[in-house]
Amino acid sequence: MTEAPDTTASDSQKAPVQYHWGETNGKRYKRGSRLPKKTGTPTPAAETPHVPWKWEEDGYTVIRGTARSAPGCHNVCGILSYVKDGKLVKVEGDPEDPYNQGRLCSRCLCIPDYVYSKDRLLHPMKRAREDRGKDKFVQITWDEAYDIIVHEFKKVADKYGVDKIAMCQGTGRDIHQVTRLNACMGSPNEGVPYFAGNSCYLPRIASMACMLGGSCVMDASQFLPKRYDDPRYTVPEYCIIWGHQPFYSNADGFYGHWILDLMKRGMKVAVVDPQLSWVAAKAGRDWLRVRPGGDGALAMAMLKVICDEQLYDKEFCDLWVYGLDALCERVKEYDLDDLCEKAWVDKEDVVRVARTYATSHPAAIQWGVALDQQTGGQQAAHAITAMWCITGNLDIPGGNVMADACWGIEQPNWVGTWGWDELMDDEEQSKRIGIDRYPMFAVGFKNMSSNATIEAWQRGEIPIHAAYIVTNNFLATMGAQAETQLEWYKQIDFIVVEDLFMTPTMMALADVVLPAATYEERDGFGGLNAYRISCINKAIEPVGDSKADNTIFLELGKRLTDAIKPENDDIAWPWDNVQEMWDYALEDGGFTWEELRDATWKYPEFQYRKYEKGLLRPDGKPGFRTETGRAEVYSMVFHHTMWSGLDPLPSYVEPVESPYSDPEDAKEYPYIVTSGARVPHFFHSEQRQIAKLRALHPDPLVYIHPDTAAKEGIEEGDWVWLENKHGKCKYKASFNDTYDPRVMQAEHGWWFPERTDEAEENTENEMDGLFGVFESNINNLVPFDAGVSGFGSNYKAMMCKIYKA
Amino acid sequence: MSAKGIFVDANWCTGCESCILACQQEHGYSEKEFGVKVFKLGPLHINDEEKHFEYDFLPAFTEWCDLCEERTAKGKKPTCVQHCQAQCLDWGPVEELAKKVTSRKQYLVGINE
Ligand code: SF4
Ligand code: SF4
Ligand code: SF4
């Protein structure tokens, strides 16, 4: 058995933590780090725009800022908020902002309706534990809420150990400082423990980190403030859009219509999608209607074509890639016909798309969550990453570029925990759930493993005794088999839920409710993307007693540290207000929060071909931050952890519970259904209570081929049951004859805020209540299994049958 | 005075429906009122062999559309035009816009009769 070297932090991991005092914006702070103290002045921003951040216009006060949560979204679109008499009247896209160039999606356009929704939570509340699931909340003050939380967390820490307190996140909100809440107490457990296989982006990010010592994103010029007009930029000739609906999802800080901007500028597309999306129709012959779960087979098929036909960039590989020969040997083990057959894609089409990709310069791949949501997805991500490495499309204009946190500002939040080393000792850190079980979790990432947690529940253990659930409605969104998980979570001694609306998860489980605020009601900055740091600028006072997530963490963090780990008192939360916290966080960029507000956005000077310039490695040498210093298509991290079943080379792993891995079950469940078919107006389980958005999409839909429907006696608009051995759920049938008749797609995140009676009356049968959350819940069908990596469960490839409700 | 109108380049409309929300917010409309609505055409099977489908989203303008009189008087674009994520809408005098219509998927609506 070999130990995994920590590639993303190998240079720092062994070094002891050094503490020192420093000054930020006139205040002294104690800091701790394993890395040597940064010296020198930060590189100045590439562009500081000269636009005002506030002005008067026709009786409105207009405030310029960027939209970064709540509501959930990873983008930082530029916005102008129009305020009259202290009320937000409307929001417009900021035409000056290079990010969205005046545009907005429906979710931000609707923000006044969201802010002033009659359903917004206005006050902290408490509820007796025995009343979980019943609408018996009592309004309390913030002080009382904090006192209860501190008291209950302390009780759990004393009784079971502080590592049994978990910070449970969701996605989309700027709440990453929550990781400091667990760290300040000495608990290493933070993550998405209900999300089987951590099945969103982490599988891809972790794969890239193991291969490249960092991660890549498609270059749509978003790093350059002049965008498409910057002479350094090249429009990709060809782009493979893989498992991704860019226009409706705006996922992972990639504004989807950038793809469209590039298509208008001549970029051709291939689309890998079981659905004929609008953009797939634009791809013509290059729409590859992959079997859900067949992405790994398809990726290996393409890689095989590129290797067998020697379409890779030999010169680039000689200089910068490790493992090309081994890869060429590996793909020989596969039969192209077999791979194409398993992928349900014509060989001719696969060969053509692989050749076009390899011979177009530059070419890009823009991928999506579908790859994270199947067992074998991590291996598929490995294969796809290898495609852009060996064709020399790595870190070049219009290719897939290495992306780092701007000025390193948000780096701690990218890898999991802000304050990991400075607030926790080795022993505390070692209690993270899953690091011994799934070695990929030991590589740079600081999250707890969902599957190790799920396995503990399955064994009858109680891995979590207190939970702080923030920006997550897991019963509706990420919780595989949510009904089963609810039974587990009910055993947790004490649960806090922080959100903006009364969600099913909150109704089911919260002992204390904390009302959070929107981006219109708070100051902050957006830095989770790799392009720029931008200002979140408060336009109005928070409604009711709601508070910004970050304010809550700061206020509660001080109290928790003091009660549970007072030795962290002078270092954990030394700021008097959030602005001081931001000044501290922004210091590495060389500007204060006020300076950021004056500029609204700051782009660091972006560099292509960083590997040539010594910009990727801490030692300043050319190459990548990996053991071999190269882009490792043969990953040394996986090489050292082969004992766990990880494979150093790309491979095709058939998902569990598929027609190929489980042909017996396939007789009873002949169809494949995916979750998460995207709708433009909803971010996961959000916005169902916003009338204008809901009116555009009132019901949960399953998209199905009319021939299949006819065979099963279903007519368009009928309510149908989808069912497999894990559970069933109810959807309205919508026909589309471009699907493979064996495939259907269901939407996710559905619950019915309008069914308040059921929530109130749910004392008898809880499953009827909770705003109908289990009814149209495709996750009822999702298996927990995430394969050898612990990354990726079958959210997008479930076997099922279908019948009329 | 020449009629003003809206030009739609449906070659690029992605069906994101931002235009609907932009219009509603600007005019204080409820969910039941909208100056523009987006219809889906297809997917039609033009040539299955070649995977040639006709699949479009087509914005249509209702009587609630006033061409954003108030905004345009102040020199701004209509809000649907500004916010369209595909930047596939334009507005102005119909004679000018007519010059832009060169394909089957492009059309023009005159609104200030
Ligand atoms: S992508 Fe949409 S929701 Fe996200 S910030 Fe931009 S406009 Fe807002
Ligand atoms: S021009 Fe103005 S009024 Fe007409 S649809 Fe567009 S936004 Fe609505
Ligand atoms: S905003 Fe533009 S792209 Fe979106 S539906 Fe309307 S016209 Fe089409």
- Domain residue spans in chain B? 4-112
Instruction: List the structure tokens of B32.
Output: 């039941």
Domain CATH for A187: 3.40.50.740
User: Ligand 2 within 6 A of B36 CB?
Assistant: yes
Same domain, yes or no: A471 and A336? no
Name the more confident of A114 and A6: A114
Name B12's Cβ contacts closer than 8 Å, sequence gap at least 6: A260, A263, A264, B86, B87, B88
A243: tokens are 């498992």
- Looking at beta carbons, which residues of chain B come within 8 Å of A278? 14-15, 55-57
Is B109 near ligand 2, meaning CB less than 6 Å away? Answer: no
A549 has a pLDDT exceeding 50: yes
Pocket of ligand 3 contains residue B96 by CB under 6 Å: no
Query: First CA to last CA across chain B, in angstroms?
Result: 10
Check whether residue A343 and residue A292 sit in a common domain: yes
Q: Note whether A263 and A378 are same-domain residues.
A: yes
Using an 8 Å CB-CB cutoff, list chain B residues near A264.
12
Asked if B25's CB is within 8 angstroms of A90's CB, the reply is yes
Q: What are phi and psi of A563, to 5 degrees?
A: -80, -35
CA of A323 to the centre of ligand 3 (A): 46
First-to-final CA distance of chain A: 53
Any idea which architecture B4-112 has in CATH? 2-Layer Sandwich (3.30)
A155 CB-contact burial (10 Å; exposed 0-12 / middle 13-18 / buried 19+): middle
pLDDT value at residue B105: 96
Ligand 3 pocket residue status of B85, Cβ below 6 Å: yes
Phi/psi zone of residue A221: left (φ > 0), alpha (ψ -120 to 50 degrees), beta?
A: left
Neighbours of A769 (CB within 10 A): 25
Q: How confident is the model over A288-347, as pLDDT tens digits?
A: 999 999 999 999 999 999 999 999 999 999 999 999 999 999 999 999 999 999 999 999
Say if A610 falls within a structural domain: no
Alpha carbon of A249 to ligand 3 centroid (Å): 15
Say which residue the tokens 């929107």 belong to. A518
Residue A334 and residue A261 share a domain: yes
Q: Which pLDDT band holds residue A275 (cuts at 50, 70, 90)? A: very high
Residues A384 and A478 in one domain: no
Last residue of a domain, one of A368, A402, A436: A402
A95 touches chain B (CB under 8 A): yes
Do residues A222 and A242 share a domain?
yes
Claim to verify: residue A297 and residue A330 sit in the same structural domain: yes
Find where tokens 């720092």 sit: A12
* CA proximity to A299, closest of A363, A244, A358, A379: A379
Domain range for residue A301? Answer: 216-402
Nearest chain A alpha carbon to B34:
A692
Residue A438 lies in a domain: yes
Give B54-103 as a DSSP string.
EEEEEEEE-TT--TTHHHHHTTPPPHHHHH-TT--EEEEEHHHHHTT--S
Size of interface A-B (CB pairs under 8 A): 97
Asked if residue A168 has pLDDT above 70, the reply is yes
Same domain, residue pair A267 and A379: yes
Q: Are residues A455 and A333 in the same domain?
A: no
pLDDT at residue B71 tops 80: yes
Classify residue A623: in a domain, yes or no: no
Residues A435 and A347 in one domain: no
pLDDT confidence band for A273 (50 / 70 / 90):
very high
**Kind of pairing, strands A466-470 and A165-168?**
parallel
Tell which phi-psi region holds residue A351, choosing left (phi > 0), alpha (psi between -120 and 50) or beta. alpha
pLDDT for the residue numbered A5: 36
Q: Nearest residue CA, atom 6 of ligand 1?
A: A77
A679 alpha-carbon distance from chain centroid: 17
Q: Does B14 touch chain A (CB under 8 A)?
A: yes
Q: What is the 3-state secondary structure (H, E, C) of A363-403?
A: EEEEECHHHHCCCCHHHHHHHHHHHHHHCCCECCCCCEEEE
Question: How many structural domains are present in chain A?
Answer: 3
Identify whether A71 is preceded by a cis peptide bond (ω within 30 of 0): yes
In a domain, A237, yes or no: yes
A279 touches chain B (CB under 8 A): yes
| Residues A144 and A257 occupy one common structural domain | no
Q: With left for phi above 0 and alpha for psi between -120 and 50, is residue A58 left, alpha or beta?
A: left
Give yes or no: residues A573 and A692 share one domain: no
Question: What is the DSSP-derived secondary structure letter of residue A601?
Answer: E
A755 Cβ contact partners less than 8 Å away, ≥ 6 residues apart: A771, A772
- The answer to whether residue A575 scores a pLDDT higher than 60 is yes
| Contacting residues of A for B11, CB less than 8 Å apart | none
Single residue among A402, A420, A445 that ends a domain in this structure: A402
Residues 6+ apart with CB under 8 A from B94: B2, B3, B4, B5, B108, B110
Alpha carbon dihedral A82, A88, A93, A94, in 10-degree steps, equals 40
pLDDT of residue A22: 86
CB of B70 closer than 8 Å to CB of B58: no
CATH of residue A224: 3.40.228.10
Query: What H or E segment, with its residue span, contains residue A428?
Result: helix A426-429
**Contact A736/A767 with Cβ under 8 angstroms?**
no
Q: Please tell me if residue B44 touches chain A, with a CB cutoff of 8 Å.
A: no
Average pLDDT of the residues in A420-444: 88
Q: A619: exposed, middle or buried (C-beta count within 10 Å: 0-12, 13-18, 19+)?
A: exposed
Q: Is residue A237 a contact partner of residue A267, using CB atoms and an 8 Å limit?
A: yes
* Partner residues linked to A602 by β-bridges: A533
Cβ separation B16–A680 shorter than 8 A: yes
Residue A274 within a domain: yes
Alpha carbons B9 and A741: distance in angstroms, whole number: 33
pLDDT higher than threshold 60 for residue A764: no
